[in-house]
Structure 1
Amino acid sequence: MSEGPFLDLRHLKMIRAIAEHGRVSDAAEALGVTPSALSHRIKEAERRLDLVLFTRIHKRLRMTPAAEYLADVADRVLSEMDRAERDVRRMDRGVEHVVRIAVEAYSSYHWLPGFIKYLQTHLPGVELQVMASVTREPVRALTNRHADIVVTSGGATPIGTHRIPLFRDELLFIFPPHHHLAGKAYVEGHDIEGEDFITYTLTPEPDREFARLFRPSGRYPRWTAMVEMPEAIVELVAAGQGSSVLAGWAVRPAINAGRIIGARVGKDGIEVPWGALMRSEDKDTGPILDVAEALAQWSSINGDFG
């Protein structure tokens, strides 16, 4: 009987490892096999498919379009299998569903214990799993099923997704307590001209400080650093190494602790809507919708995530 043309899990893991590491030796080490065994596995996969998956350039492997496609499929399949295995194990603990949640851009989870307590009361059969590695590409995380719900800012609802509104949050200029602007209730364009400024993205967004304050006033701070983790920005600001603009709910614990000072962005302030984004296929019924709606109810009780 023929072994068939199909790849098995070993091949999918191999393709994903090579996509991540680029070298046979590194991929083999990650998989716990010898480089010769991995090379044999590559040849076996190419023989079964009757096509070339990788070409060699010096000591690295270049993926063909077919391999790139399979790497994307492997990532989804293996993630789903890993999730299924964890879900089955949780069934022994009375957990009926596991819902994976992430927050766009921010890794501030001071709100999480309160929400989990609320969830245990209202949805006792659901367990929440926090996915910290998907904060930069929320839609891709949903499409690849790395996350089921991503809390995102802005009002856009990308194709293939469904959004449940959560709350509106005001952006805040943040400074160290000793800063000369720390006593102001709001900060205007002329206040920040030339000030050291730390940002987590260099891409201007239409509803944020660049478009609403910097550009209209023609006044700009002095861009000193790009730090992709807002939580690290808070630490730098607290240490007196610059100022920044971040979501109010995310920096409120540091403000309440007296480590930084917050001020409104402009006299009228800038409010940003936050919502729970999920796949369109989950918007009508099921545990993902239940958790998103519970998050909306909980945040309405608390006002936001602060």
Structure 2
Amino acid sequence: MLSLERLRVLHAISAHGSVTGAAEALHVTTSAISQQMAKLEREVGQRLLERNGRGVRLTGAAELLVAHAGRMLSLAERAEADLEAHRGAVVGRLTLAAFATAARGLVPPALGELRRDHPRLRVELEEAEPHETVPRVARGDLDMAIVQDWSGHPLPLPGDLNRVVLLDDVADVALPEGHPLAAGDAVGLAELAGEPWITWSRGWICTAWLLSTLRSCGAEPDIAHIAAEHHTQLALVAAGLGVAVVPRLGRDPVPGGVRFVEVRPSPVRHVYAVWRADADRRPSIRAVIRVLRRHALSGPPEPTASAARAG
């Protein structure tokens, strides 16, 4: 009888491309991975890993076994979800990842409510970007992720993931307080196309959206500064070093010297939760979704004259 846990190890090596990657994903040592693989090779009577430079590669027998392992692990997850649903209790451990502003502006009050209402449920939060978290949810390294995409730039999702929309988050343009357009109520991005821009890291979906949107206005974007964190972007804006598009979710506190102006048409990013379809019946998954949706309903605050102008 094949050991499901050893098949999980082999599947992790295939998914992560190395023994080290599998060990990190499964939170064990590389020695433990090697021991489990040696036992699995004895069970099947065939070699499963071969040396490949400093790493390893899967043999043909291992590739065949990995295909079966994926289906077996999926069935095991469904069985666990059914048992958890049958018991009906919101208990156990759930790993959740969220991009930075959702981790700051949406998740903390939701986790506080879950801790009060379901003290036997342990939700562990990790801050990470969607391009990192979606593959990890699909592999089973995470139970759930809060991700984002922008209008016209959907985030590709594997077919075995479920999703639910949490909120649509409007973005405004952040201008230095002395900027000629800072006194207006609204501005078009075309009016700002030639400005020096402060944007997110290269390769992020929000950066791709900004670049394509500005190019559609007929100007090649002048990217003056790159900063992953909105608070860093706002500090650069306050110093008069450029302008930035900043969504409303989780952007407080705002430094002095920054003026938010609405953009017409309004840029919107869509915030949603994703999880594996095989885990859909888990009471813990459903409880987390319910609480996240309830807290998302209030949404980010609308900008007011006092809130828009800091300092």
TM-score, length-scaled by structure 1: 0.63
1:292 partner amino acid: I
Give me the identity figure in percent. 16
Match of 1:88 in 2: none
CA contact (8 A) 2:98 2:128 kept: no
Does residue 276 (structure 1) correspond to residue 273 (structure 2)? The answer is yes
Paired residue for 1:113, among 108, 117, 135?
A: 108
Paired residue for 1:235, among 216, 232, 235?
A: 232
Uncovered stretches (5+) of structure 2, i.e. residues with no partner: 81-88, 303-311
Deviation at 1:53, TM superposition (A): 3.6
Q: Aligned equivalents of 1:285 and 1:47: distance in 2?
A: 35
Match of 2:123 in 1: 128
Match of 1:148 in 2: 143
1:267 partner amino acid: R
CA contact (8 A) 2:98 2:146 kept: yes
1:303 partner amino acid: G
Match of 1:169 in 2: 169
Deviation at 1:290, TM superposition (A): 1.9
- Say how many residue pairs are matched: 273
Tell me: CA distance 1:22–1:95, structure 2 relative to 1, closer, same or farther (3 Å): closer
Match of 1:31 in 2: 29
Q: Aligned equivalents of 1:261 and 1:135: distance in 2?
A: 29
2:109 partner amino acid: G
Match of 1:292 in 2: 289
Q: CA RMSD in A?
A: 4.8
1:153 partner amino acid: Q
Greater Cα shift, 238-247 or 160-169: 238-247
Q: Deviations over 1:157-196 (max 9, x none)?
A: 9423333332221123345666666555435223231514
Deviation at 1:122, TM superposition (A): 4.2
Match of 1:250 in 2: 250
Q: Aligned equivalents of 1:160 and 1:9: distance in 2?
A: 22
Q: How does 1:1-306 map to 2 (within 5 A)?
A: 6=2, 31=29, 46=41, 48-64=43-59, 70=66, 96-104=91-99, 108-133=103-128, 135-154=130-149, 158=157, 159-175=159-175, 183=183, 185-202=186-203, 208-211=209-212, 213-224=213-224, 230-231=228-229, 234-239=231-236, 240=239, 242-251=242-251, 253-255=252-254, 257-258=255-256, 260-264=258-262, 266-283=263-280, 286-300=283-297, 302-304=298-300
Tell me: CA distance 1:169–1:134, structure 2 relative to 1, closer, same or farther (3 Å): closer
CA contact (8 A) 1:187 1:263 kept: no
Deviation at 1:248, TM superposition (A): 2.2
CA contact (8 A) 1:22 1:61 kept: yes
1:188 partner amino acid: L
1:140 partner amino acid: P
Report the 3-state secondary structure (helix = DSSP H, G, I; strand = E; otherwise coil) of the residue aligned with 2:274. strand
2:91 partner amino acid: E
Uncovered stretches (5+) of structure 1, i.e. residues with no partner: 85-93
Q: Aligned equivalents of 2:284 and 2:91: distance in 1?
A: 9
Q: Deviations over 1:42-89 (max 9, x none)?
A: 776555544444444544444446557759969x97xx99xx9xxxxx
Q: Aligned equivalents of 1:258 and 1:71: distance in 2?
A: 56
Report the 3-state secondary structure (helix = DSSP H, G, I; strand = E; otherwise coil) of the residue aligned with 2:111. helix
Report the 3-state secondary structure (helix = DSSP H, G, I; strand = E; otherwise coil) of the residue aligned with 1:258. coil
Deviation at 1:278, TM superposition (A): 2.6
Deviation at 1:243, TM superposition (A): 4.2
Report the 3-state secondary structure (helix = DSSP H, G, I; strand = E; otherwise coil) of the residue aligned with 1:190. helix
Report the 3-state secondary structure (helix = DSSP H, G, I; strand = E; otherwise coil) of the residue aligned with 1:250. coil
CA contact (8 A) 1:175 1:238 kept: no
CA contact (8 A) 1:167 1:275 kept: yes
CA contact (8 A) 2:100 2:127 kept: no
Q: Aligned equivalents of 1:292 and 1:108: distance in 2?
A: 15
2:218 partner amino acid: G
CA contact (8 A) 1:172 1:262 kept: yes
Match of 1:89 in 2: none
TM-score, length-scaled by structure 2: 0.62
1:220 partner amino acid: E
